[in-house]
Each structure stands twice: as C-alpha cells, then as structure tokens.
Structure 1
C-alpha cells in the first residue's frame, strides 16, 4: 500500500517502509501532482513550475524521465511496458490516481468534511485523528514556490477550521472543561478568528464562568478594534447579549446539559445555507426541544415563526418512516425556503437521520446536475455506494475522459438505476432525507433524478424540494405531475404575521420597535422575511419612526439603498463578486480585482459585516441571498459587466482551470474577440462534462454558447464555416439525445445553409453525416419531402471516393428525407444495390444479372 505524506516533510512509504523519491526536480513533479488532488496537470504547467521558467532544450523528454522514475517508485511490482494505474497520462498531461486514504492531505480534508455531517460524539475522534496527521507545515519542502502557495494556504486554513470544529465537537459532546484551555491557546495563536473567541466564551459560560466569558468577549472586541478598526461581528455580539440576558437556549444549542445524556447536537448547517436563529417559542410542537440553530459569524439572518410549516414537514418525516414520502416547499424569493430547510435538517439530524442537501445554482455557468453532485458527495461520506460504476458521472464530476460511449439512452438508464439502488440501500440502513433547494433553477437531469428519488418506496426516505412558483413552471410541470401521484406534503410559505415581523425586527435591531413601525413594515413588505430584514437594517442607522417613511416599496430599491451606503472600494468588490456568481473564491476576486489582497479582504469584510456576503467556507464568500446578487448584477451596464467577466475569466483560468462551465460563461460574456477562442474551447469541454452526466439539454445550451462565441473569432471565411458546421453538428447530436428532434432538424438546416454559402460540398457532406444518433421518429412533416435536400443528397451520393461511413449516412439521410412509399420504392430501384455496395465493403456485393 502506497502512502504519501505532505503535511510536513515529503515522505513516501510502501508497505510501511520509506522509499527514496529522487532529486529536487523529480520530487517537485510529485508535489505538483499531489497538489492537483487527482486532477490532470498540463505538461506545460509542470515544465514551467519545475524549471522555474528556464526549461532545458527538451523539457518534455526530461519530464518523461522523471515520470518514469516516479512510476517505478510508486509501483515497484508493475511489469515493464504495462500501463501505470497510479500515475496516469493523457493528451492533456499527467495525474495521480491514488486512493483518498493514500495521501495524508486528502485524508485530512475528507475527514474534516465528514465531521460536519455526523454527531459530536463521532466528529470528535474523527477530527482528532485527522489533525494528528500534521507533522509540520503543509508542502513544507516547497515553501515559497508559487505553484504550492495556494494549496498550502488552503490546507492551512482547513487545519484551523478543523481545530475549531474539534473544539465545537467537544462542546457538543458535553466536555466544556477540555475546551477552555485549548480555546485559550487557539485565540492566542489566532486572535483575529472570531470562531475561536466564540468557542472560548461558550466553554467558559458552560463551566459556570459567565464573568470570564464576558471578559473574553471584551478582549475579542479590543483586538478587533485595535487590529482591524472594526466592531465585533454579529455572532459574538449576539452571544454577548445571550450571556447578559441568560438566554440558556443559546448555551444548550452548543453544549447539552448533563441531564441530556450526552446527546450530540446537530452539526452546523452546510456552508452555502442560511443559518437560523430562533427563539424557543418559534418551534412547532413537533420539533419542540430540538437544538436551536444560531447565526454563524458574519450572518445576520434570523428565523422566526413557521410553526405550521415545520409541523407539516415533521408529519412528512413521520410518514417517510413508514415507507417514504415527498414534501414540496413553495414560496416567493425571500420567503425563507432555505432557512426552513436548514431548520428541518437540524431537527432530523438530531433524531438520527442522515440528511443531505443539494442546491441548484442560480444562473448560467453552473455544472450540470450540480445539486445531486453536492448532495451525493455528502452521502458518499456517510454511506458510500457498493459499486460506483455509472455513478462516477456524479461522484467524479471533473473526470470526462471516460465519458459515456455508445447508446446514451442505455447509459442514462444505467445511471438512474444505480442511483435509485444507492438511495434505497442508504435509506434502508438509516433514515435518509434528501433536500433539493432552488428547484426552479434545475436542469433536466436534476429534475429527472429527483423524480427517480421520489419514486423510491418501501424504505424511510424523505425527499423535500423547495422552489419559487411562477419561475420555470413549464420546465417543472412534468415533474410536478409525476410527484402528484405520490400525494406530496405541500408547504406554501406566505408572509410572516405582524407579531412575527415584530420578533424579527427586534432580533435584528437588538431593541424593541414601536407597534406603528412594525405595522408599517409588515404592510409594506407583505411579511416577506428577507424584505423585512433588509428594511430593518435600513432603520438601524437612525430613529426607526422617522426612517420608516423612507423605506422604498420595492425590495430591489431597498437593496440599492443599502448598497449606496457602502464605501466605494467595498461596492466595487461587491460588483465583481456579483459578476463571479452566487459564490466565489476570495483568491479569484483578489486576482481579478488587480488590487493588493489585503485591500480586497478589507472590502469583503465590510460586505460581510453589512450582511451582504457570508463566509461560506475557507477562502469562499457567498451572497446571503440570491436577490442581493441579482440586484447588484442587473444594475451593471453591459460594458462594465463584460470587462469584469473578462477579468474573472483570466483569473479563473489560472486559479480554477477545472471550473469549465464558469470559464466558458465568463469568456463568452466578456465579448472580447481576443477571448472568443478560449470561450469556445471551455464551452466544448463543459458540454462534454454535461454529456458525461447525461444532461443533454445543458450540453446543447453550452454548444449554443460556443456558437455565439465563435462568431467573434477573427478568422477567414472558410475557417469560420468549418468551425460553424462542426459546432452545429455537435449541437445537433446533443439535441437528438435530449429528445428534441425538431430542433435538431432546424440545426441541420442551419449547418447546410452555412456549407452552401461557403460553396463547400465537403461541409455539406459533414452537415448531413453529423446526424449519427438513431432516431426512430419522423424528423420531417409526414408525406412531405424537402426537394432541395433530396436533390443535394442525390448529387452527394453520386460523388466518387466518399468514405464508406459517410456514404452510408448520406444514403440513410436520403431515405429518411423521402416519404415512406418513395423511400421504399428507392430501395427497390435497380440502381440502389450498386449505390449501397460501396458503403459496406467486404460485406455484400450485388449479384450479377443472370
């Protein structure tokens, strides 16, 4: 068994015995491949990094020698001239295909991820073992090397997160005495991390040292003011208020009382979700006594009311225990669908359910079936499938080299069958809840898989989907019709009552607000929680009674007023983040902004403090609500958004070269002819990834995007026509696989027109022969023939020297173009055998007349 250690000095062992890796450059090749975490590293990038921009005369030959030596080290028993299983090559470059537990950094990251989906009793030992893998700094041998900096920083941040999660798990397991000294050491080493101060204060409070807990928070406030010139974040402010007012439910949510029998609290919500903060009376009877989920640092979202809705979801969960159930949560933007799902997830986890959540990303640039990729990754960490097989399309989302071949319909059937078997097996082992949020943004494959999941019965499986009515209703209609047969539990989300609006405003403003102000806000906002929250923040800066008259009637206008109060630097970074998408990497924003990283982080912290962004994970920021991002993006001019898309594209190409759909989107929307070629390249690669997941509709969208980008490429007319016909052929095949034969026929017509305008019969042949998929349905009007197409095909099939495959497809196209009787008559024509014969050489020859 090969084991590689990079969390400290580089070390490779086989069967427990260390093996030599070779000299500096050979070790650097191994380090580069390890830092890529299984992804393919292009040869040019390896050469640039290993030789630091000064390669030898034949760098590829030298690199091949290093790779050969490394293969010998990693697989000493491999026979000569046999393919390597661990260090593999492809036309793009090299990649390591080691198991997750073979590399300490990979094992560490996986353990931290798993710890967030299990209870505190299980998470503690898991995190202790993971943190014990560290023997020094990550990738210490390559400290200062540009290629290692990003991975080193990422792992270092993940280590700090792991330490904080371990402290939280110890609190959740009822061991606050152990947490206090460890948290004190943590805040001494990392005084600017608010989570450390929060855990220290909770530990002190849980051990009866309320005064020391408040003193710790005062020290945290002094550090923030002195080092950053900022006030405490809202999470610490709320904790301070809870200690002062003895809100023991806050303490019980993090540290179970001794009488609770050491029941593990629910893990923290997923990073991309909105955290909840509920008063005890906001719980429904069905969920009374369950942990209260509080806002994370940097979030000001709160959860109030929704007793009836939580009760319906609790009823759905009880029904699921008897053999499966489906629930549908419907509400307008800002109604609190995501918060309700998080609340329900916390309740189910505390009762022993496995809960996985997938979110359909809003807008273009998202990978196909991403909600299921996200959810199934979490499920695999708890209950991996018995056989991966077809599921690799969803579990290995960046791998397209072994994409589907042959009959796409059969491949998709196998994927769906494996998917349903896995969910059924996981639910049979432990009650399973699958939440899919923002279903109105879903692509066809996401909807198809949801329908499959909802159709599973006989096991304790709860499927919950949340969506906005009135958005993509036509796309959702077939799925909703199918789900109706399961008699789903329906949870419509309306506005909050006036009393609940008062509770929400009080939680956000930190003080009571007059009944007149609350009534005005409730009437103006319709009780929409997001609208109420954004309006309440406008009132924080002055007298609420006077300020309420200035609250705009539209939610986007409320958002614009809040944005207008930001410093110019913060507003500029927020616009860049809006162009990047709902969630993005801080490193990408720093690179695209072209400003010092410290200035970008300062601007982001202003946005986090203002509740516009939240820290979704190490090095990640996310808009706290899609409406915020939509408003910022829609207010940009086309010129400005094109410029920002171009900057983000170039930054992502360097930092996230595997984010294919996002790269295709940014390069295309830049509108820059100099970037059009890369836009086409990434769109084609993203389309291939979508085909790998049988998301043919997404593939077709990406190919249309590639066609739009190709129009901007400055190239001669012949080259432009060749590229267009090639792309139209790919689009045609994707449309056929998606079941859109009419659209495919129109695309072929477009390809033929392009070829004929170019005066190129070879392109006309390519346009006709691009239709390679079996289509048993009619692709033309019944009984009507396209005379021009028939004449063209007659001429083309008479051309000498055509490749047999092309001739066969042209003849098939000719038969398909003719009405039924005419097609049969053509096949009986005396000249037909002599025309068909060249298409099947060696198989058949016409018999000579007697």
Structure 2
C-alpha cells in the first residue's frame, strides 16, 4: 500500500489515493518534521522541541509515543501486531520516515527532467500552508518556493514570446525585484515582441532596484544584454512582428470572421448602449473549445476601444502555479498603468497592484472586503470619465479568490462598467458556478455559442454548397475544427481532410476526452465503434448502463 504525502499547499496524507485524517495539528506537525528530515533519524528530544516550540510539558514523551502509535495504525492498517513499521521506523535515539511518495520530491524529479508544466501542476498553494509560521519549517518552505520560482522562470524563458508570457514575467519580476535573471528574461521577451524601449526600461528598473535596496550595480548578464538590445544584436533572435495568433481564430481574413456571429455582436452592442447610458452591464459567452468565445470578446472589445472606452483583459490560466487573483492583477495593473488610482485609495488595492503587499493586523474576511470594495470604487472612478469594459477570459480556470471578487463585483458595481466573461460549457468548479449564479442575478446577457450553420460555413470557407455542407457536418460548425480541416485540405485535398482527423484537432479532442469521467469515456469509445448509427438505447444495453448516463455522455 502506497503512503502519500502532499506538502505543496495544505498538508495532507493518503493511502493508495484515499485521504487519511491523521488528526490534529501536532500529529500533522510530527509528520512534517520527519518529512523534512528526508529519511534521517530525528531524536525524541528534537521531535519534542519541534512539536512544543522548545517548551514540552512534563508528559510530552508519552504523548509523542501515542501519536506515533496512532499514525502507524492509520498509515499501515494491514501491519501485523508487534511487527516493525515500514513507515514510522523506530531507530534510536528517535524515529525516521520510511518508504513514501512525496509531491515535493516528485516536483524535484519532474523539474530535473524539464517537465516544467507537470511539475508546476503539483502546486496547490504555499508549502506546508497551515504551518507557514513555524520557525523551523521556514527554511524548507523558502527552499521549495525558490525552487518553484526557478521552474516558472525556466518555463517562461523557454517559451515563445507572447503578451501573456510578458505579463507573467512582469509579475514575477515585481515580486522578486532583486532576481536579475527574471529582468533579463522579461527584457528578452519584450525585445522579441518588438518592444525595444520597454525592454530597456525593464533593465533600468532592475538597475534601480539593485542600487536602492543593495547599493549594487547589476551583474554582467544585465549589462551585456542592455548592450545587445541597443545594438539589436542578432544573437537575441528575430523580433516577432505581432502576437502569436490564438488557436481559436480561423485562418481567414479578418473581415470574414463576423460570419455567423453578427446576431451576438448586435446583442452585445445593445448592452454597450445601456452601459453608455449609465447602467452596469454583465455578459457571459459560453461554448465548447474552439467555438469562438475569445474571438467574439475580442471583436466586441475592439469596437469599444474604437468608441473611446477603456478596455482591460484578465486571462485565467489552466496551469497551476499562477498566484491568487491573477486575472484581476492583470486587469488592475493594466488600468493603473494608464489611469493611476487615487493615492488615498490605492493602498486598499493591495496585491492587485504590488505582489509584495500584505494585509497586516486584519482578519482574512476583513481584508477581502476592503479589497473588493477598493476594486469596485476604482472601476467606478474610471467609468466616471469614460465607459469601462473588463474581460475575464476562460473563467473555468479561475481561482477561488478571483471568483469571489467577480461575485462581489457583479453585486456591488455601479456606473458605466461592462464585465464580459468567456467560459467553456460543462467545465469549472462549484465555486465558479456560484459566481456565475451571482452574475446571473445582475440581469446578465447570456450568449451560448453554437456551431456555424452550413450557409455560414460556405461563406467562411469559400466552398460550394455541397462541400460546405459536408464540412459543416464533419466539424459541427466549430470554427477551430473548420480551420484545422481546411489547413489539412490545403495539403492533402478536401476529400482526405473530410475523412481524417487533423493532428492539431486530435490533440484538442484527446484533451477533452481525458477530462471526462471514466463512465463517459467508455460510452464514447463504444459510440466511436458504432459510428453514426450509434443509438442511446442500444449503447445502454450493450454497456449495461442507464440510458440517462449514455445520453449525458453523448452530449458532453
């Protein structure tokens, strides 16, 4: 039986993937102390020192042995009486932790192999979260946090330059202003995006922080990079003339993209007119991956910018490791860079403006209330001058804190503010649906996107009616699927494209399939074998499942 411990966030233990309640704070702290020792023996005296903050009570040794006995029963339920423990090993003058799986060790292994995304997905918060104030744990917590920062930095430095990469590097550099390598990575990304002046500004900011906080000049790396940028050294790589195109945008001329979505744009324009008249507006665009949610939001935002609105975006990321309130940090920092908040109220915006800001002498609920009210007030102040559009993209990946702020914003916001949300249908957490329920109470405009009809597919693709109909049937009118199929058709012919799944599309479909519950996957595998003739009743009978589950799987 595999004993597993997770420390990259709230401390937890499990046995063969089944959670174990190991008891109160002290038994958990005991396990943490042995985990930190990495298999070495920890004396009884050292354990008592750690458990009781240097002041153990008279009967503490007996209590410690009681903890050990209880933990052994929980972690090794099948161990024979009086047989030696393989997990909590009695090794004079104390105890050691035997065979176990540890997420922190797995993180180190994956990071060493270059699997940065997999490694970062193991993180669920601050290491040893409930024991963050325990003095002897601080060095280990800081070591793990520095390791995580290093992996995030390596992943971003290796990524193709793009606006979201720059935004994340900027956030990390502000949070760790003395880490020169972050400023270097940020400057390189900015330069590759054609933002040479901004790249030099980033290096000047690094110089300023080092001089003001340490009285030092930057190292050779920053000095050399500054010289390379000034001379546009070819070793920096070619500049990217425009941001990398999002996967969800079909490769057709921009003016033709409105095909099939004019009705939704008209309804959003009506919402904008109400906002310009002084009312707060909320809209939720939903649909499957590739259906065009982000494109619709971009098209609406482009129109508002042309009308003189302030527009700011917050992108939620699927990858773990992003800080809490990450989409709102992007939005508020973008807006503050253009219209700084009133100095009297900017302090309440806290972490949304400065990663180093911390609430002191305040309960978490009180700090959250102050922050939410500050955001509402800042948005209202901006909207007093001109209308404001805030876009939250891919809400299904938002963290709990971001969802809480959205819910309060939907309830409290006043003035000429529009909030546009994009979200994948059928994905997300219970907290996300709670936030959307609060948005719905604000009389939100709901825009579920379906696939394009054959006429729109014909206009979009330039194919004749018969071939466009076949393409619409094959792709169900999904713009992403249409684009990938047309790309394959350009290389191998339309007949081949209509009978084959393009590789880029196959990756998307595999990702969707793996996210479904196992019973749904079994139904879909059977349906794939049956082909177009698949019938819910026949599939239910063949699989021994209820028709309701089969129907849910076929429409998932």
TM-score by length of 1: 0.33
* Greater length-normalized contact order (CA 8 Å, ≥ 6 residues apart): 2
